[in-house]
Structure 1
Amino acid sequence: MTSIKNINFNKFSNYYKQFHHFAGKMVEKIYQTSLTAALDSAKHCLDKGDVIALPTDTVYGLACSANNEKAIQKLYAIKGRDFHKPVAICVKDIESLRHWGQAEHINDVLLEHLLPGPITIVIERSANLNNRFLNPSTSKIGIRIPDFDFIKNLCDKFDQPLALTSANKSAEQSSLNIQEFECLWPHLGGIFDGGQLGVTEECRSASTVIDLSLPGRYKIVREGIALKRTLSIMESFNIKPLL
C-alpha cells in the first residue's frame, strides 16, 4: 500500500475550522429525506467529493465516497479523527460486499442472517477498494449494509461504497438528530434529515463490529447494539471465537 507518512493532514483541519462561524447560515444545505429530490442531492454531493450527514439504522453518520482520496481526508478532518483509526464502508447488498471485500469463505446464508442491520463485518479488502487514505494502517475493511431505506437507496443510486462513521466530533457522543452535530454543518456538503432516530441513551449505541476475516472464526471488535443477536448467529453456524 502506498505510504502516506508525508501527507499533511493538518491543512485540511485548518481549512474547515475557518468556516465554523458560518454555522447559523447553513440551513439551505438541509434536506428532508422524505423528499424524492433528497437522493439526487445526496448523490450530487458525493459526486463532488463532499462529506454529507445522513441517518442510518443506528445513529446519524458522516459519509463520503470511499474511493475518493480527497473526500476521505475531508472526512477525517471534519471529525477530528486520527487517520490511523479505521472507518467502515457502507454498500447496498451482499453482492457489493463481495466486490469490495474478500468474503469467499463466508457463505450467503450466514451473510443474510447478519445483514442488513446494525452489524459491521470486518474482512480483508479487495483490490477494488484502492484508496490509500482509507484505513492506511490495515488491509482489512469493515462493511455495513444498514437496514434504513434512505442510505440503502443512496448506495444503490451512487453505486460506489460510502465511507461511514458517526456524525460527531471524535470522542463525543453519537447523534440521534441533526441538531446534536450542528457544529459540523458548515463543513458538510449536505445534511439529510430523517428526524429523531431514538429517544434513549441505548439508541446511541453503534453497530456491532465482528471480524470474520478468518474461515470458521470470529472476533468481536466492538460489542455495539446487536451483540446478543450476533453471538447467537455465530453459535448457530458453528463459528468459533478466535482465542
Structure 2
Amino acid sequence: MAQYFEVHPQHPQPRLLKQAAAILQQGGVAAVPTDSSYALVCHLDDKTAVDALRRIRAVDERHHLTLLCRDLSELSSYARVDNQQYRLLKMATPGPYTFILEATKEVPRRVSHPSRRTIGLRVPDHVVTQALLELMGQPLLATTLILPGQTQALNDAHEIREQLQKQVQAVVDAGACPMEPTSVIDLSAGEPRVVRQGRGDLDALGLVFVADDAA
C-alpha cells in the first residue's frame, strides 16, 4: 500500500519529505510532482526498483530514463559534455528541458540506452522535487508517469494513489502539475537536435524543432 504525503507546493514539510526519501533509499518507487508532470522515481543504484519502474510504465531498456539532478554540479559524474553544450545546459536549467547526453561509467549500464550508451538528464524547477533531491544527496532515476495504453501523464495525486497503490510505495502530493512534457534535446552526437518540443521554450535557447518528414 502506497504511503501518501500531502505537502505544501512552495513550503513542503521537511518531516514528510524525509519519510518519502527514506522509502526511496530503501528501494521504493514513488510518484512525485515536477515542473512538467508527475513522474515515477527511484534510487539510481537499485536494480529491483528500476525494474519495477519500467514494469509500471511497460517500457523496455531502449526507453530513455532520466536523471533528475539538483543542479549542474552533478553533471560531470554522469554525463560527458563539451564547453558549448555546457553553456546550453546552463541557460536551460533549472527548467522543463530533458537533455540526452553521453553517459559516463558512473551510470549503471542497465539504466542507460543499451546501444547508444546515453542517458537523459534534467534539473527540474519545482520546489518539492528539489527539496527531495537535496535530501537524497544524489540524482533520482525518473520517467514520466504515463500508464500503459495512455498518452497523457496522470496529474491528480489521489487518482495516482488509487491506480498505483499496489505498485508504488509512496505518492507525494503537491497539487496539479502543468501537464505538458519537457522539451527533449539530444546532445549525444554533438550539435543539439530537438527530439520533442514541449513546455521548455526553444526560442530562449536559440533552437528550432524540425519535424521528421517520415513521421
Number of the residue aligned with 2:176: 196
SS class of match (1:112): helix
Instruction: Quickly say closer, same or farther: Cα 1:84–1:162, change in 2 above 3 A.
Output: same
Q: Quick one: distance in 1 between partners of 2:109 and 2:24?
A: 15
Report the equivalent of 1:178.
Answer: 157
Which residue number in structure 1 is paired with residue 136 of structure 2? Answer: 158
Q: Which runs of 5+ in 2 are unaligned?
A: none
Using CA pairs under 8 Å that are at least 6 residues apart, name the structure with larger relative contact order, 1 or 2.
2
The alpha carbon displacement at 1:189 in A equals: 1.3
Q: Which residue of 2 aligns with 1:61?
A: 39
2:197 to 200, 218, 223: 223
Q: Aligned pair 1:234/2:214, yes or no?
A: no
Deviations 1:172-217 (A, max 9, x none): 12122213333112211111000122xxxxx4221000012244x1
Deviations 1:143-180 (A, max 9, x none): 01000011112212212221111223134121222133
* Greater percentage in helix: 1
SS of match in other structure, 2:192: strand
- Distance in 1 separating the partners of 2:197 and 2:149: 17
Q: Match of 1:192, as an amino acid?
A: V
Q: How many angstroms apart in 1 are the aligned matches of 2:116 and 2:122?
A: 17
After alignment, is 186-195 or 136-145 more displaced? 136-145
Instruction: Tell me the alpha carbon deviations over residues 129-150 of structure 1, each in whole angstroms, 9 at most, x when there is no partner.
Output: 1242443343111101000011
State the Cα deviation string for residues 76-98 of structure 1 (Å, max 9, x = none).
Answer: 11222233212111011101122
1:96 to 74, 91, 97: 74
Q: What is the TM-score with the length of structure 1 in the denominator?
A: 0.76
Runs of 4+ residues deviating >4 angstroms: none
Larger radius of gyration: 1
Give the Cα separation in 2 of the matches to 1:80 and 1:108: 33
Q: Residues 100 and 184 of structure 2 are in contact (CA less than 8 Å); yes or no, is this contact kept in structure 1?
A: yes
Cα separation, partners in 2 of 1:48 and 1:119, compared to 1, 3 Å: same
CA distance in 1, matches of 2:112, 2:28: 16
Where do residues 33-72 of structure 1 align in structure 2 (5 Å cutoff)?
33=7, 34-72=12-50
Tell me, what secondary structure is at the counterpart of 1:204?
coil
Maintained 8 Å contact 1:122/1:142? yes
| Percent of residue pairs identical | 26
| TM-score of the superposed pair, with normalisation by structure 2 | 0.85
Q: CA RMSD in A?
A: 2.3
Question: 1:69–1:131: 8 Å Cα contact kept in structure 2?
Answer: no
Aligned to 2:105: 127
> 2:61·2:110 contact (CA, 8 Å) conserved in 1?
no
Contact 1:114 1:230 in 2 (8 A): no
Instruction: Please say which of residues 66-75 and 169-178 is displaced more in the overlay.
Output: 169-178
Separation in 1, partners of 2:107, 2:46: 10
Name stretches of at least 5 consecutive residues in structure 1 with no aligned partner.
Answer: 1-25, 198-202
